Structure 1
């Protein structure tokens, strides 16, 4: 179905190639998972499949990309629209209509699909992705996760033979991610759709893959069956890391396989030691916070305290009110009722870059690029202060000062915004889905930065769907549902027993409350052979 023949892509003569002499074959009806660190060229590889690279992005391409018998050299993206459906990292950038239903219908209208067929496909897609209740909603009023599901639906509804997905679950809560991946797998198995998917959250996707395409860097691309490729893959999910730690053969790719392999290990592990980060004084006090948009109540009478020296995770399904709560805490979002004090001072101000809203409270929004307005990475770092460049190099090394922020990958842009905000060292830091587009290494570096910030006496609140990130960082978890707080407690107490929010290691080693591979390694000490 897809053939890459001696493919090389270079954007500039003074930069190394994004892809170098790549030969790759993807069969019809195969789910191919593309993995690699942030910035290694995954998006470039995906963009080459439907000709966006280089027809739209520019650059120089040598070799051939042939999809369903069509060479992208001779067939620009518009001629392949009915063959290849694509969802990029930023779903909002691809929207052309105002409402969910209109967005789903738009692609079929351009292809001249009969009205009766259009209606049937729209209904099937709404049900497939669980978004029927959103059909009449304005796209601008949806949460990031809801927008991502609509974007996937707009690609699916045209019934393409090839579906290219760039981090399709990055903004989805765990339950929604499972539903979307189940729908994608159904397309592969039942309809023979070929899916090429780049994904950083491998704990969600690797078990469904028929093949893994690994990009270790330097333009190199390797492919093979998942079990073989994950042995030395540059990035790996927790179950694979646990298998490597315990020398399990074959390596498990799913929680089910890992639980079987872990039976001897569970019997020999002592209970995990509690985390030692001490809490300080209360830095932020929120009382009775309510956020209402016309008739819809997004946040209802929330009372919350954030202690200095701690990291709190804010979790909940898409549309539960997490972003609305963050904006109201920061002071620039609407607040229908309630009060928010940081060190005794009421929050107010705006979320423009450089503003910390008086009592030193910073917010990294879900669309991090909204805070970038200068012409180069170097200018952005210089405007933020002397620490920003060093922080960026730590989070995402290799980004040139001269690059325009809009030319960075989603993960690189997020790293830049995080560096800018962290450089100000705010008393309270609020982050909305900060791990979108970040690989495991970048997330580990971000964890270190936020841990350091907390240990220095700052309070951190992170709204996220990334359960593995929460397991490795958070002291406490607050769960929202329809604007109400339904759970609030220590991380292990809240997530370990949850079938949705539990990290992979917790599921593998239950009932013991281990959350991360690092916790297991610490417990094993010098007795790794016991696994």
Structure 2
């Protein structure tokens, strides 16, 4: 169904191809997973299937890509629209209408389908993706995860033969991600749809794949094989595979169920050991605190005082927020102290992003109060507020305006009053190898997020807010992010992150707060909250239960 024949893609101004000598075939009716570190060209490979590369992106494509017998060099995207449906990393870029139902129907209108066919397919898709209650909602009022499901639904309704998806579950909570992946599996198994998708959260999707295509490094030839074969050699792998490598299991497990069947001996070895928490300690008593190397190297201005601040970095009391006619938050109480990392979790639309927006002053409370370091965010001047609180949004491009990475960094240093080079040093830590002259729009979604994080961190706010900070990041980039955030917490910065990434919460958070329908339904130490939750427990916890292990790193330390 999809055939790559020695395909290389080189963009204008680039010294090396983004992808080189890609040669593989995706048979009809299979789900093929494209994996590899950030920046190896996965989005370029996906774009070549739909014809976006090179017809819209520019550059030079050598070799040949055929889809259902059509050569993408001679067929532009509109001439492939009836056979290829594409959902990119940014769902907002797909939408052309205002409401959910209209968006689901738009693609079929473009193809001239009969009204009765359109109506039936819209209803089918609403049910498949759990969108029936949102059919009349404005797309602008949806959460990030809800928008992602609408974007997927909009390409399902024309019934394409091929679906191409770039990070389809990145903005979804665990239950919603399972629903979407179950739908994709049903399309593959029951309708013979061919699916090619790229995803960094391999723990969610690797066991659904029929084959995996690994791009191991920029410009390297791809490796094609079964999930077990590729995971044995892949530089990126989910925690359950990493645990299997550590334990020496062969073949490697791809699911929690497979791992639990083999974990008896490992549980016995760990029975007398206690998990060692390698995260930074939470709120600390007054007195000198050591500064970790990362924070000391890159964040030299305005050190956080050793004595406790008179006001906590964040204090929310009886907060209620309205978004139109919807009460997005109600009766929310939350205090975050210096040095504490709090993970906000919950299903899509639970109010996590709204709570972050209230903390940074983007929305005004309907009732209750919000204070950051004693200041009221929506009444504080931006130049003063940036010292107290910084937000990295779900869409990092909202913070990026300059034409090059170097210009973004220079502007961030100037706005924050930081030493020249402070922002660029953070970028080098989070994004090794990114050139100064690179345009932010040429970065991958994960790379743009890391650049936006560096811009916000340059001002060294007492309170750092992150909305889905690992969206688009591979495991190595996530590890670098964790290192930086741990260093900031050790210095006394408070961190609040809204995330669906249960592995990140298990590794980084001191506390987990779970929201549902705008209310706090759980608030406690990370180990207690995630271990008790079937939806938010990390893979290692599920494998080794009833023992209370959270991460592979904890198990590795115990065994050593």
List structure 1 runs of 4+ shifted beyond 4 angstroms.
349-352
Residues 330 and 348 in structure 1, CA contact (< 8 A), matched pair in contact too? yes
2:464 maps to which residue? 429
- C-alpha displacement of 1:288: 1.3
Query: 272, 275, 280: which is aligned to 2:275?
Result: 272
Q: Which of 287, 296, 299 is the matching residue for 2:317?
A: 287
**What do the CA deviations read for 1:102-159 (whole angstroms, capped 9, x no partner)?**
0000000000111111001000000000011000000000000000000000011110
Q: Is the 8 A contact 2:280 2:489 kept in 1?
A: no
1:437-493 per-residue CA deviation (whole Å, 9 max, x = no partner) reads 111111111111111000000100000000011111000000000000000000010
Partner Cα distance (1:94, 1:246) in 2 = 44
State the SS of the aligned residue for 1:362.
strand
Given that 2:373 and 2:388 are in contact with CA atoms closer than 8 Å, whether structure 1 keeps it comes out as no
* Residue equivalent to 1:367: 395
**Contact preservation (8 Å) 2:282, 2:510:** no
Aligned to 2:404: 376
Q: Which residue of 2 aligns with 1:529?
A: none
| 1:200-259 superposed Cα distances (whole Å, 9 cap, x missing partner) | 000000010000110112322221111000011021000010011111100000100011
Residue 26 of structure 1 deviates from its aligned partner by 0.8
Kindly indicate whether the alpha-carbon contact (under 8 Å) linking 1:32 and 1:210 is maintained by their aligned counterparts in 2: yes
* Alignment partners' CA distance in 1, 2:384 and 2:113: 51
Q: Does 1:400 align with 2:435?
A: yes
Q: In structure 2, do the counterparts of structure 1 residues 126 and 106 end up closer, same or farther at CA, with 3 Å as the change threshold? A: same
Structure 1 residue 278, shift from structure 2 partner: 3.5
Distance 2:157 2:384 in 1: 43
The C-alpha deviation readout for 1:264-286, integer Å capped at 9, x for no partner, is: 11122123135660413533211
Determine the structure 2 residue equivalent to 1:245: 246
Residue 65 of structure 1 and its aligned partner are, at CA, apart by 0.3
Equivalent position of 1:528 in the other structure = none
Answering whether residue 97 of structure 2 is matched by residue 82 of structure 1, we say no
In structure 1, the partner of 2:556 is: 521
Partner of 2:370: 340
Cα deviation for residue 360 of structure 1 reads 1.0
CA contact (8 A) 2:86 2:165 kept: yes
Instruction: Encode CA deviations 1:324-347: one digit per residue, 9 max, x unaligned.
Output: 111111122221122222332322
SS at match of 1:33: strand
1:491 lines up with 2:526 in the alignment: yes
Where 1:216 maps in the other structure, the secondary structure is coil
Cα shift at 1:409:
1.1
For residue 353 of structure 2, the aligned residue among 323, 337, 342 is 323
2: CA distance, partners of 1:12 / 1:350: 44
CA distance in 1: counterparts of 2:38 and 2:57, whole angstroms: 19
Partner of 1:124: helix, strand, or coil? helix
Which residue of 1 is the match for residue 494 of structure 2? 459
Contact 1:332 1:351 in 2 (8 A): no
Aligned equivalents of 1:350 and 1:250: distance in 2?
Answer: 58
Aligned length: 523
Residue ranges of structure 1 left out of the alignment (5+ in a row): 526-531
Q: Distance in 2 between matches of 1:226 and 1:293?
A: 44
Shift of 1:356: 5.8
Aligned to 2:300: none
Matches of 1:285 and 1:341 in 2, distance apart?
5
Please give the alpha-carbon distance, in whole angstroms, between the structure 2 residues aligned to 1:305 and 1:177: 30
Whole-angstrom CA distance in 2 between matches of 1:109 and 1:315: 38
Cα distance between partner residues in 1 of 2:364 and 2:441: 29
TM-score, normalised with respect to structure 1:
0.96
Deviations 1:66-108 (Å, cap 9, x if unpaired)?
1111111111111110100000000001100010000000000
Q: Which shows bigger deviation, 60-69 or 325-334?
A: 325-334
For 1:134 and 1:85, locate their aligned partners in 2 and report how far apart those are by CA, in whole Å: 22
1:25-65 CA-partner distances (Å, limit 9, x unpaired): 11111100000111110000000011110011100011100
SS in 2 for 1:345: coil
For structure 2, which runs of at least 5 residues remain unmatched after alignment?
285-307, 414-420
The 10-residue stretch of structure 1 (357-366 or 306-315) with the greater mean CA deviation from structure 2: 357-366
SS at match of 1:108: helix
Does the CA contact (< 8 Å) of 1:356 and 1:426 recur in 2? no
Shift of 1:396: 1.6
- Does 1:391 pair with 2:392? no
Paired residue secondary structure (2:252): coil
1:509 corresponds in structure 2 to 544
Deviation at 1:408, TM superposition (A): 1.4
The 8 Å contact of residues 20 and 219 in structure 1, kept in 2 or not, is answered as yes
1:374 Cα deviation after fit = 1.2
CA contact (8 A) 1:348 1:358 kept: no
- Aligned-pair CA distance for 1:388: 1.1
Secondary structure of 2:86's counterpart equals strand
**How far does residue 349 in structure 1 lie from its aligned partner after superposition?**
5.8
3-state DSSP of counterpart to 2:175 = helix
- Superposed CA RMSD in Å reads 1.4
